Amino acid sequence: MEFNIYQNFDLILLTVASIAMLYYGADLLLSGSLDFAAKLKISEMLISVTLIAWITSLPEFLVLFEAINHPEGSTVAYSTILGSNFANLGLVLGLSILIKFKDKFDFNFSIFKNIVFISLLSTLIFLLYGLNILQDIVLKKILSIGMVLGIILYILISNKKTDNFLKKERSTKTKITLKIIAGGLLLGVGSNLLANLGLKLQNLGFSPSFVGSIYFALASSSPEIFTSLFAIFKYKKHDLVIGNVLGSNLANIFIFGILGLIFSIGNINLNPLIPGLLVVLEIGIFLIFYAYYISNNKKDTISINSLIGLLLFSVYYVFYRFI
């Protein structure tokens, strides 16, 4: 079906509106979160792996709780987490590193390396669900507990280094709270609007690959993408990007763990190679960053070349197009 720009001008306006919501939502969320961290005198990494990561993971949270009671709900919930985590590492982190171009993407590796084990362990536990190896309900509950404990340990370790405080902020508590709530709402509404627009365009005859690669991909990852862009260009805080990506991934796994404790997670009808790719990607990223750390004489701050971002983005594209 041919797309008539005049007859469907409302879809164009809604697309612009959704992007505007994501733009201002990300700015308000980061501004409010940084003010909140300044009030409590906590580190940037902690605020990114907790408040920012959880708010940007809200779309996945809503999808999971809506899908779990439907037929094949376990597979849908698992696939949502898998796709979101892969997008965070390949699309969000890859894009964040890539857009620095000649400038290097630098961040504090000393904080990052302390949470590698927890991130990998949580992802491996998540992988066991996808492989359908453990069928006993008690063992599945134990796996769920492991996923829940992962993010708790992550937060505790992330708060060990609290020397990186943010500047003092004179905003009132009410103003800070309103910023965070408004930012979260705008991000949620904007991403949901993009998903609905994608469905409408698909019904108009657009190819699933076009709709999926633009609208659905942005709908699930747009909160993390826009938040990362603001962290890089406006606030110059690369540590927030790393914390947001890893924190969002752990938050997603945490949510799946909570679902496993509340509901009975059935078999995951998914090619076992697909969740294995997430583990391989994580290990690959950790090894690349560690190689930079070694080549930089084990100094805390490392600078990543934009080519690494292009590599991650390419891996995500291949995963999305052919898996």
pTM of the model: 0.77
Report how far residue 250's alpha carbon sits from residue 49's, in angstroms, rounded to the nearest whole number.
9
Class (C level, CATH) for 44-164+207-322? mainly alpha
Q: For 303, left (φ over 0), alpha (ψ -120 to 50), or beta?
A: beta
Give the residue extent of every domain in the chain. 44-164+207-322
Give the count of beta carbons closer than 10 Å to the beta carbon of residue 53: 29
Report the b/e string of 12-45 with b at 16+ CB within 10 A: eebbeebbebbbbbbbbbbbbbbbbbbbeebbbb
Q: In a structure prediction context, what are the per-residue pLDDT tens digits for the chain, which is 323 residues long?
A: 444 554 566 777 877 888 888 888 888 888 888 888 888 777 767 777 777 877 877 766 766 666 666 666 777 778 778 888 888 898 889 988 988 656 778 888 877 777 787 888 888 888 887 777 766 666 666 766 766 676 677 666 655 544 444 455 557 888 888 988 898 888 888 877 776 776 676 666 665 545 554 555 556 677 877 888 888 878 788 888 888 888 888 888 877 777 777 777 777 777 778 888 888 999 999 999 999 999 988 888 899 988 999 999 898 888 776 65
